[in-house]
Structure 1
Amino acid sequence: MQIAIIGAGVVGVTTAHALTRRGHRVTVIERLGAAGLETSRGNAGQRSYGYVYPWASPAMIKKALPWLVKPSGPLKMHLPPSPRTLRFLIATWRFANAPGLFETNKRAMLQLGAYSRQCFLELEESLAPSFDGQHAGLIDLASDAATAEGLKATSGLLDDLGITCQWLTPGELREAEPGLQGDAPLVGGLRIPGDGTGDCQRFTQALAAQCETLGVTFRYETEVVRVTRDKGRIRALSLVPSNGGGPAREGASESLEADAFVLCAGCRSRQLGEALGLDLPIYPVKGYSLTAPLLDPARAPRSTVIDDRYKVVATRLGDRLRATGFVELAEFDRNIPLSRLATIREAVESRFPGAADFEHADSWTGFRPMTPDGPPIIGQAKRDNLYLNTGHGTFGWTLSAASAELIGQLVDNDEPAVNLEAFRPGRFAR
């Protein structure tokens, strides 16, 4: 079968790899000049299979206002909010208050995360790309008793799903992470030893190179502008040269025919979805990161450590430290306020003083494709020959390997390895 994939981020490339391994002929269309140049470029570096959860959380709704008004709070919003931002927030509020939905979606996402870990281990064993990847675990810190109780409650669900976790005292935390010597308050932490790390962009580009050797065609600097349908099914995409990620260039288009199509375009999936006849409520949730060379490896985190006060993630990537933070609702504003970077740096240095050279750090901002309830969109659109693999929010790197395999299973009419009810494309219709 000839399959066209739209998007060459980590989700699109892992999908291309899964489909070509199944014997399909795959073409990937990407508006930028290479794979992994958008959200995959500067994300947190964590593959947190046991630390995935829905965006629409009742607890998050309660904390939203204090976070917004606190200068270093992890949630920010451009004022006045745009109509699109307001619609997204209203939908989030509705899903967060739906009885039992958060618990159902969290369980479903953790099951998907566990499957993704299995898929990643198989993928790494067969390809062994160099991306500073390892599986040395994740630690979520608690600076007060209330946070500790919440983490201990989460451990019960992890135990129920067979995901290994450990509650660690401050002394045990410092044994696991010797660099954890900052003066920030610490009462304990939840460790998930099977979670992983890695440079998502390096992984994506290494896997894209492997895909090319397997026969996948990548059409970079190419934009989808129209869709041709025949008897209710998509027959072809109309393509034009892109303009370095800006508006598509004017000129003659070419037609790319295929038997099936997969939308993996991240935050652009909403716009492209309209051309494909879909209404996808995906919002570009903005985040920031700093990637700094290590000053003293002994003072740096060994894997991924999450500071509960700032919601800043610090991840070891070989001889670098990646620190990521903030959830900002500002549409596609790429401005990087220095205050955001200062907060990220403060959070890391309060836990791992002297670990990284932030004076020579690379800064980044990007957009996570978030659905208003939280789970990604994985499945077939109606009874069409269009498949969706998008809307992964902050967990695209974590869930990419599993969602790619699931798309392959759906295309080949195999029984999905994970129940897809929580991820079905039609769940937003009212």
Structure 2
Amino acid sequence: MDITVIGAGVVGVTTAHALARRGHRVTVIERLSGPAEETSRANAGQRSYGVVYPWAVPGLARKALFWLLERDGPLKMTWPPSLETLRFLFATLRYANAPGVYGLNRRAMLRLGEYSRQCFHDLESAHDLTFDGEHDGLMHLASTPEAMTEYLATSELLSELGIAHRLLGPEDVRAREPGMTGSGPLFGALRFETDGTGDCHGFTRALAASAESLGVTFRYGTTVTALEGDHRQIRGVRVSEEGGGEEVLDCDAVVLCAGAASPKLARSVGLFLPIYPVKGYSLTVPMDHPERGPYSTIHDDRYKVVSTRLGDRLRATGFVALSGFDRRIPEARLETIRRSVASRFPGAADMSAATPWTGFRPMTPDGPAIIGRGTRDNLYLNTGHGTFGWTFSAGSAELISQVIDGESPALNLDPFRPGRFAE
């Protein structure tokens, strides 16, 4: 089939690559100048297969209020909030308070994470991809005794699902992370044994080059303006190029992988996607003393900041901000990230010289991504992955390819169905 993939972030490129390996003729449309130039550009660097969880967590209202009032709290919101922000929050609270929904969605996301881990291993075994990628585990620190109690409960669920993990005491944590010499409180950690790291931007660019060798066509600097067809099928994709005119690209199927830009295109064919651009920030800097930096990925539960080693670089990421598509980077947010790094890995890098970034994670109000067939026979969706796009990308690409080819998907996709928000 001739398949058009909309979006060249990590999800779009992994999807295109999976389809090309199956023998399809694939064209990828991307409005920016290259692959992974938006949300995939400088994310946390963690492939956290065992750490995934829904956005709509029970007790969210109480936690959100506390975080909003706390100076270094991980949740921030523009005031007054926009109507779009309020709608997203109300929808989130509805899912958070729905009995049993969180548990079902978390299990579904963990199963997708484990499947994606396997798919990443397959990709890395079959292709020479350079992106500072490792699978040396990930640790969630416990800065309070209460955090360790929560990790005990999490450990039971992980054991139920067969996800490799260990509970560690403070001495074990420091033995695994000798660079962690800071004064931040430490009562132990939950270690995810097989989770990974890697530069998402580097991976996506390397995989895009591999996809081109398989015959995939990438059209950068090209904007999709409409999906054209009738009530049953998409007949073509109307695009416009920078400095050029419009044209309609004929295709047999369309896969929407446009992240936070997906809702607008979906509305044109009668599909409601309540995806909100949840904003995050990161700092990336070469390490002056790599031996003082993290060995793999460390989640500091005190600041909700993730520090990751990417080769000889340190990347630290934090915050979820509800501010629409506002690209401003407040200095206060960066200072919180710097405080977290200093409290765990002092002297590893000059964080004042780090390169800042902000991006928009495409979040659904309940948490699971949107994977499956849309409102037309040949419209498919692989979008709305929230903070876990890098983690889920390899697995969700295989799953949507299985759906397109009429196969039974490797996982139950009911929690990820595109039409669930209209029910």
CA distance in 1, matches of 2:164, 2:38: 32
Equivalent position to 2:254, from 253, 256, 261: 261
- Does residue 389 of structure 2 align to residue 410 of structure 1? no
Q: Deviations over 1:357-402 (max 9, x none)?
A: 2132110001000000000000001452100000000000000000
The answer to whether the aligner puts 1:280 opposite 2:254 as a matched pair is no
Q: In the alignment, which residue of structure 1 is the partner of 2:178?
A: 178
Query: What are the residue-to-residue correspondences of 1:138-153 with 2, within 5 Å?
Result: 138-153=138-153
Which residue does the alignment assign to 2:349? 356
Alpha-carbon distance, 1:274 to partner: 1.6
- The equivalent of 1:136 in structure 2 is 136
Task: Verify the 8 A CA contact 2:60 2:93 in the aligned structure 1.
Answer: no
Distance 1:278 1:384 in 2: 13
Within the alignment, does 1:336 sit opposite 2:333 as a pair? Answer: no
Amino acid of the residue matched to residue 28 of structure 1? V
* Structure 1 gap segments, 5+ residues each: 243-248
Equivalent residues in 2 for 1:56-71, closer than 5 Å = 56-71=56-71
Matching residue of 1:297:
290
Segments of structure 2 that go 5 or more residues without pairing to the other structure are: none
Counterparts of 1:13-412 in structure 2, within 5 Å, are 13-230=13-230, 232-242=232-242, 252-382=245-375, 384-412=377-405
Q: Work out whether residues 283 and 354 of structure 2, in 8 Å CA contact, stay in contact via their aligned partners in 1.
A: yes
Moved more, 225-234 or 100-109: 225-234
Distance in 2 (CA, whole Å) between partners of 1:231 and 1:264 is 21
For 1:367, the aligned partner's letter is F
Which one-letter code corresponds to 1:416 in the other structure? P
In 2, Cα distance between equivalents of 1:327 and 1:309: 15
Percentage identity across paired residues of the two chains: 63
Equivalents in 2 of 1:144, 1:46: separation in Å? 23
Contact 2:269–2:375 (Cα < 8 Å) also in 1 = no
Query: Contact (CA 8 Å) 2:271, 2:375: kept in 1 or not?
Result: no
Structure 2 residue matching 1:111: 3-state secondary structure: helix
Deviations 1:271-310 (A, max 9, x none): 1212233111000000000001112111111100000011
Name the SS of the counterpart of 1:58 in structure 2. coil
- CA offset digits 1:226-262 (Å, max 9, x no partner): 22214521000111014xxxxxx6x631110100000
Cα displacement (A) at 1:145: 1.3
Amino acid at match of 1:422: P
Q: Is the 8 A contact 1:170 1:188 kept in 2?
A: yes
State the Cα RMSD in Å: 1.0
| 1:186-238 C-alpha deviation (Å, 9 max, x unpaired) | 11100001000000000000100111111000010001112221452100011
How far apart, CA to CA, are the structure 1 residues paired with 2:264 and 2:293? Answer: 41
Residue 245 of structure 1 is matched in structure 2 by none
Partner of 1:246: none
Cα distance in 2, alignment partners of residues 289 and 47 from structure 1? 16
Helix, strand or coil at the partner of 1:129: coil
Secondary structure, aligned partner of 1:278: coil
**Alignment partners' CA distance in 2, 1:265 and 1:427:** 19
Deviation of 1:152 after TM superposition, in Å, equals 1.3
Equivalent position amino acid for 2:333 in 1? R
The corresponding residue for 1:12 is: 12
Q: Please give the TM-score of this superposition, normalised by the length of structure 2.
A: 0.99
How far apart, in 1, do the equivalents of 2:231 and 2:314 lie? 52
- Distance in 1, Cα, partners of 2:400 & 2:250: 20
Aligned residues: 423
1:325-351 deviation line (CA, Å, top 9, x unaligned): 000000000000111000001011101
SS in 1 for 2:34: coil
SS of equivalent to 1:102? helix
Distance, in Å, in 1 between the alignment partners of 2:61 and 2:209 is 42
Q: Secondary structure at the match of 1:34?
A: coil
The CA distance in 2 between the partners of 1:19 and 1:213, in whole Å, is 13
Matching residue's letter, 1:266:
G
- The one-letter amino acid of 1:297's match is P
Cα distance in 2 for residues equivalent to 1:348 and 1:380: 43
Q: Secondary structure at the match of 2:307?
A: strand
Provide the rounded CA distance (Å) in 1 between the counterparts of 2:19 and 2:42: 26
Q: Distance in 2 between matches of 1:143 and 1:184?
A: 7
In structure 2, what is the Cα distance between the partners aligned to 1:86 and 1:22? Answer: 42
| CA drift at 1:71 | 1.1
User: What residue in structure 1 maps to residue 413 of structure 2?
Assistant: 420
The alpha-carbon distance between structure 1 residues 136 and 59, as it changes in their structure 2 partners (threshold 3 A), is: farther
Counterpart amino acid of 2:320?
V
| Change over 3 Å in CA distance of 1:59–1:141 after alignment to 2 | farther
Partner of 2:52: helix, strand, or coil?
A: coil
CA displacement at 1:148 relative to structure 2: 1.0
Q: Distance in 2 between matches of 1:187 and 1:59?
A: 24
CA distance in structure 1 between the partners assigned to 2:270 and 2:128 by the alignment: 39
Contact 1:9 1:38 in 2 (8 A): yes
Shift of 1:19: 0.2
Whole-angstrom CA distance in 1 between matches of 2:6 and 2:358: 22
